[in-house]
Amino acid sequence: MFKIEHNITNADISKGVMINIAPEKYDDSKELKNTYIELGLGDKQSKNKIILLQKLVSKAAKKLPDDNSEITLGFKSEQERKGVVPIARSVKSMDAVPIHE
C-alpha cells in the first residue's frame, strides 16, 4: 500500500505531505508486525531488519523537498481507523522514529 495525503499536520509537519507505505497483503503486514514485536523481545535478526528498513526510509526522506513532507513505513493496524503503525518515519532533516543501532 502506498498512500499520499496532503495538508497533514502532526508533531513533525504542518499542512504538509505524508507518504504512508505499508504491505498490501495481510500476511506481509503480519510478518512485519511480528518482526517489530520480536525486536522488543531482543531478537538480533529482527533488530537488523528494522534498522535496515529505517535507514532506507531515512535515505529516501533526504530527497524530499523540505521538512514539511514525511515518509512513514509500517504495518497496518488491526484497528482500521488507526491506519499504519510506524516502524520508520522521517522528514528531510531528521528521523521521527529514532534509528537504534
Look at residue 39 and tell me if it is in a domain.
yes
Is residue 57's pLDDT more than 80? Answer: yes
Query: What average pLDDT does this structure show over 12-34?
Result: 90
Look at residue 101 and tell me if it is in a domain.
no
Model confidence pLDDT, tens digit, residues 70-99: 999 999 888 777 778 899 999 999 998 888
Grid cell 537488523 is found at: 48
pTM, to two decimals: 0.85
Q: Say how far apart CA 37 and CA 61 lie, in whole Å.
A: 25
Look at residue 78 and tell me if it is in a domain.
yes
Q: What is the pLDDT of residue 33?
A: 93
Residue 77 corresponds to which cell in the numbers above?
A: 493496524
The tally of domains found in the chain comes to 1
CA distances from 58 to 34, 82, 98, 100 (A): 22, 23, 10, 13
Q: What is the pLDDT of residue 60?
A: 96
Residue-number span of the structural domain to which 22 is assigned: 2-95
Q: What is the pLDDT of residue 93?
A: 94
Look at residue 6 and tell me if it is in a domain.
yes
Look at residue 100 and tell me if it is in a domain.
no
